[in-house]
Amino acid sequence: MIVRKLSDAKAYEAPNHRDYKSLRVFGAEMGGSQTLIFGISHFLPGGGAGPDASPPEKDLLRAGGRVDGDRRRQGDRRESRATPATSARTKAARSSTAATKSAPSRLRSAPVK
């Protein structure tokens, strides 16, 4: 088992994102998983991402705030969502408060070693 404190997470820049901060907790250069990347994103008011589509499946849990998408209101605090791989999406924090989400992204279907 790998235990990592939030203070150990590394900041990263995601393409096509604006007015946000992201931390990578597990996966990719952080290690700990070969099939998932787990990160935390904090969107400032007016911040957002997209439109884009990427190969990984995206799952998220909204920890705070509200984010709206191009298809529907994507949810308030404690709502979860799954987006299939390569599905185009847009998101924006349109409220006057920041929005925070935690999101694992599945890289491939290989078993974790």
Domain-located, residue 78 = yes
Determine, yes or no, domain membership for 16: yes
Q: Indicate whether 112 belongs to any domain.
A: no
Residue with tokens 């705070």: 64
Least confident of 40-49, 55-64, 79-88, 102-111: 102-111
Q: Specify which residues 61 forms β-bridges with.
A: 80, 102
Residue 50 lies in a domain: yes
What integer pLDDT is reported at residue 11 of this predicted model? Answer: 93
Of 84 and 106, the one with more pLDDT: 84
Domain of residue 81, residue span: 9-106
What is the per-residue pLDDT for 96? 72
Q: pLDDT of 1-57, one tens digit each?
A: 888 888 999 998 888 889 999 998 888 888 888 788 888 888 888 888 888 777 777
Has residue 111 been placed in a domain?
no
Q: Rounded CA gap, 21 and 112, in Å?
A: 28
Q: Region 56-77: what's the mean pLDDT?
A: 67
- CATH number of 55's domain: 2.60.120.10
Average pLDDT estimate for 68-83: 62
Q: Is the peptide bond before 15 cis (omega within 30 degrees of 0)?
A: no
- 55 lies in some domain: yes
pLDDT score, position 75? 54
What span, in angstroms and rounded, lies between the C-alpha atoms of 86 and 56? 7
CA angle (102, 27, 43) in 5-degree steps: 30
73 or 95, higher pLDDT: 95
Total tally of structural domains belonging to the chain: 1
| 4 located within any domain | no
Which of the two residues, 18 and 76, has the higher pLDDT score? 18
d(CA 106, CA 56): 5
The answer to whether residue 18 is domain-embedded is yes
